[in-house]
Structure 1
Amino acid sequence: MAQPQPPHRPYVSPALRTAADWSWRFVVVAVAVVVLAYGLSFVSEIFIPVLVAMLIAALLAPVVNLLDVRLHVPRAVAALVTLLVAAGVVAGLVTIVGSQASSQWSDLASSATQGVGEVERWLSTGPLHLTSTAISDYVAELQQAATDNQDALIAGATGVVSTAGHLVAGFFICLFTSFFFLLEGRRIWSWLVHLLPRPAQDPLDDAARQSWVTLTHYMRATIVVALVDGVGVAIGAAVLRVPLATSLGLLVFLGAFIPIVGALLSGTVAVLVALVAHDFVTALIMLGVVILVQQVESHLLQPFLMGRAVAVHPLAVILAVAGGATVFGIVGALFAVPLVAVLKTGVGALARGGRPTEEVEEITDSDAPLAPEAPPPHDEAEPVDGDEGAARVKR
């Protein structure tokens, strides 16, 4: 009796089968990321302050741990005092900058008026050979465009007022979230890990601990680099007698939190102020100061402070900043590099099964107040003394 023939199946090469497997998985992941980003856009007024609070907690955690562990200050008091001191320092800097700007703004405005006049003379006598009539026509066109778009400008001003209200609300959300992250971040993370399936808890716990150390190192290095950039530009501007030297230094300090491009763009503002307030030679010297500060940052501070644990290739930094700014604007540019650094460490740890490597130092509780406590099985948990109150798995 003849054996039945198996049904004929079309031949698919192993390469095409592998490509198809990767393709549909990639499409599923991409769709999930897009849906997640779209959903978070509706709660950005809450989500973004929480992310900022996480960066603040990573920066202030060593101080809180020092007061709590070494000096035996109650953790709630240590977190509150550290946060208030940090907020006081920021408020003091803003006050200094505001007073300096108000005292020098009139001089800078008059210098800007003279600078506009010099630009008009250069346009008429320079290689463009524009007549004063043509320049006046261009100015009139700009004024007419502003008049025609008056409604849009008013709507934009209304949007600015609304945005200011969101900023105030976001500030208080960020402040309270930072306090609770510093106070009991481990307990919060332990509760989140409990929501995951049991086999995924330990690997994710270890990967998150290593990622938190990477984020902590990144914030420590970034604050030092930003401080050096701001102080360097402020000193250079003060020596050259450029107005608003302290304000320019603070602007460069804030811009340095966006690696590579942030400090360079904010330093360009210092060059423009030097050009308006003085002359072309002073602006060139100011440009040299900005470039010198950037070289010190790139060749000395970044390699030494970031270290191997937070090493991200400069090409990855530039692409991450550009992609984040394109998709999410200034917020994306701010969070792009720390996100890439954390994902680099976390994904690498998950690929190794959660085991640390030589590039990632062993994580201790004093290093990571938000680092996850290992989620305990229901029958093998033992309590942990202290304010963390999280249970640890017996290993």
Structure 2
Amino acid sequence: MSAPEQRAAPDRGLGAAATVSLRILLVAAAAALVVYVLVLLRLVVLPVILALLVATVLAPPAGWLRRRGAPAALAALAVMLGALVAFAGVFALVIPTAIAELDDVGATAREGLDEAVRWLTRGPLGLSEAQIDRAIDQGLDRLRGSGEGLAGSAARGALLLAELVTGVLLAVVLVFFFLKDGRGIWEWVVNRIPARRRPIAHDIGTRAWDVLTAYVRGVAIVALFDAVVIGLALWIIGVPLVIPLAVLTFLGAFVPLAGAVVAGALAALVALVTVGVVPALLVVAAVTIVQQVEGDVLYPLVVGRSLELHPVAILLSLTAGAVLAGIVGALLAVPTAAVAWTAYGCLRPPAERRTT
């Protein structure tokens, strides 16, 4: 290699590195812009995603009614009313039961707290009563400070409530139209795309719908398993509020990783303040065993195959969703990430797609 060529080689390398860096910056800027726009339009984006998830559950019974001669609008309305009645029935079962058991919980909570204090002071931790009292006082001070902050932001809370009500109403309307005209809506969207891109768009839509359906059904199965087994364990141990805690466990399963931890911690706390330290430890052991069976066997078998997401990707998407949109974002983060990954897989050349 001649001297001029040797001097030109580093220049070419720097030029290539600069080109790659510029492309990365452009992609990052575009991604940041997309996220910014989605956050601004969260009042539209979140109801659409939520409506799609609900529609995956209600679409089969609506289709069954249409195949038996029911008009599309009537089938959609009947299925939605049936789902509403089912939810109302669950709440009608849970709330009276919880209210009836709260008296017993209040009567035994003081005894449970006294036993917990005795265990903390005389047990292996060896804490003093002064330390415990100081920790309780600090917690109460924080709660008072939080209450003052909430009282000072009443206008902001009212705005959030208005956004929540608007989003829920929009999601309900969207569910109706997705059930009634879902295929027609998708065909209209695909027809707006250039003809040469329509097969890819149709493939993305089909696979994304399959992923959402598999995700919702799989998580529902996992949630039902958690709720039944943990609820049975709580009943055997003698913990009150079994039905409300089982329902919370079921709902918590729809928030990957974090939901099960929060629901289990709440069940252990109820056991601690009502029936004592040993039953609380038994609850922790039962929840841990159930979560191990779920994480190692049931979730990968029922849900993991359809998502094709690494646990790290699930954790990062869950965190990002919570930061951007709070609890609702955490609920919708994983299915959104799964759909995005599916769309990316459809856009790759066929030779590079990993067969499943």
State TM-score, norm by structure 1: 0.77
Q: Indicate how the Cα distance of structure 1 residues 14 and 339 shifts in structure 2: closer, same or farther if over 3 A, else same.
A: farther
Counterparts of 1:168 and 1:241 in 2: how far apart (Å)? 38
Out of 83, 86, 91, the position equivalent to 1:94 is 91
Correspondence 1:274-293 to 2 at 5 A: 274-293=271-290
Aligned residue in 2 for 1:218: 215
Q: Indicate how the Cα distance of structure 1 residues 344 and 114 shifts in structure 2: closer, same or farther if over 3 A, else same.
A: same
Aligned residue in 2 for 1:64: 62
Aligned residue in 1 for 2:292: 295
Counterparts of 1:147 and 1:247 in 2: how far apart (Å)? 27
Q: CA deviation at 1:221?
A: 1.0
Aligned residue in 1 for 2:21: 23
Q: Indicate how the Cα distance of structure 1 residues 129 and 350 shifts in structure 2: closer, same or farther if over 3 A, else same.
A: closer
* Larger mean Cα displacement after TM superposition, 306-315 or 262-271: 306-315
* Larger mean Cα displacement after TM superposition, 225-234 or 119-128: 119-128
- Contact 2:208/2:343 (8 A) holds in 1: yes
Q: CA deviation at 1:79?
A: 1.6
Secondary structure, aligned partner of 2:256: coil
Q: Indicate how the Cα distance of structure 1 residues 148 and 233 shifts in structure 2: closer, same or farther if over 3 A, else same.
A: closer
Aligned residue in 1 for 2:311: 314
- Contact 2:318/2:330 (8 A) holds in 1: yes
Q: Note if 1:74 corresponds to 2:71.
A: yes
Q: CA deviation at 1:207?
A: 2.0
- Contact 1:59/1:220 (8 A) holds in 2: yes
Q: Indicate how the Cα distance of structure 1 residues 104 and 203 shifts in structure 2: closer, same or farther if over 3 A, else same.
A: same
What amino acid is aligned across from residue 33 of structure 1 in structure 2?
Answer: A
Question: Percent identity over the alignment?
Answer: 34
Aligned residue in 2 for 1:230: 227
Q: Indicate how the Cα distance of structure 1 residues 268 and 233 shifts in structure 2: closer, same or farther if over 3 A, else same.
A: same
Counterparts of 1:259 and 1:150 in 2: how far apart (Å)? 29
State TM-score, norm by structure 2: 0.85
Counterparts of 2:143 and 2:355 in 1: how far apart (Å)? 60
Q: Note if 1:155 corresponds to 2:152.
A: yes
- Contact 2:314/2:334 (8 A) holds in 1: yes
- Contact 1:242/1:277 (8 A) holds in 2: yes
- Contact 1:79/1:183 (8 A) holds in 2: yes
- Contact 1:123/1:129 (8 A) holds in 2: yes
Number of aligned residues: 349
Out of 30, 52, 55, the position equivalent to 2:53 is 55
* Larger mean Cα displacement after TM superposition, 9-18 or 284-293: 9-18
Q: Indicate how the Cα distance of structure 1 residues 240 and 179 shifts in structure 2: closer, same or farther if over 3 A, else same.
A: same
Q: CA deviation at 1:269?
A: 1.2
Counterparts of 2:353 and 2:132 in 1: how far apart (Å)? 65
Q: Deviations over 1:101-148 (max 9, x none)?
A: 21112222333333333444455556555355x655665566666667
What amino acid is aligned across from residue 168 of structure 1 in structure 2?
Answer: V
Structure with the larger helix share: 2
Q: CA deviation at 1:250?
A: 0.9
What amino acid is aligned across from residue 74 of structure 2 in structure 1?
Answer: V
Q: Note if 1:39 corresponds to 2:53.
A: no
Q: Indicate how the Cα distance of structure 1 residues 135 and 203 shifts in structure 2: closer, same or farther if over 3 A, else same.
A: closer
Cα-Cα RMSD: 3.0
Counterparts of 1:36 and 1:180 in 2: how far apart (Å)? 26
- Contact 1:206/1:354 (8 A) holds in 2: no
- Contact 2:204/2:343 (8 A) holds in 1: yes
Aligned residue in 2 for 1:5: none
* Larger mean Cα displacement after TM superposition, 33-42 or 224-233: 33-42
Q: Deviations over 1:237-278 (max 9, x none)?
A: 122221111111111111111223322321221122112211
Counterparts of 1:260 and 1:214 in 2: how far apart (Å)? 19
- Contact 2:215/2:306 (8 A) holds in 1: no
Could you tell me which runs of 5 or more consecutive residues in structure 2 were left unpaired when the two chains were aligned. Answer: 1-6
Q: Indicate how the Cα distance of structure 1 residues 33 and 14 shifts in structure 2: closer, same or farther if over 3 A, else same.
A: same
Aligned residue in 2 for 1:112: 109
Counterparts of 2:253 and 2:135 in 1: how far apart (Å)? 36
Aligned residue in 1 for 2:3: none
Q: Indicate how the Cα distance of structure 1 residues 145 and 318 shifts in structure 2: closer, same or farther if over 3 A, else same.
A: closer
Aligned residue in 2 for 1:200: 197
* Larger mean Cα displacement after TM superposition, 16-25 or 266-275: 16-25
Q: CA deviation at 1:223?
A: 1.3
Counterparts of 2:135 and 2:311 in 1: how far apart (Å)? 42
Secondary structure, aligned partner of 2:307: coil
What amino acid is aligned across from residue 280 of structure 1 in structure 2?
Answer: V
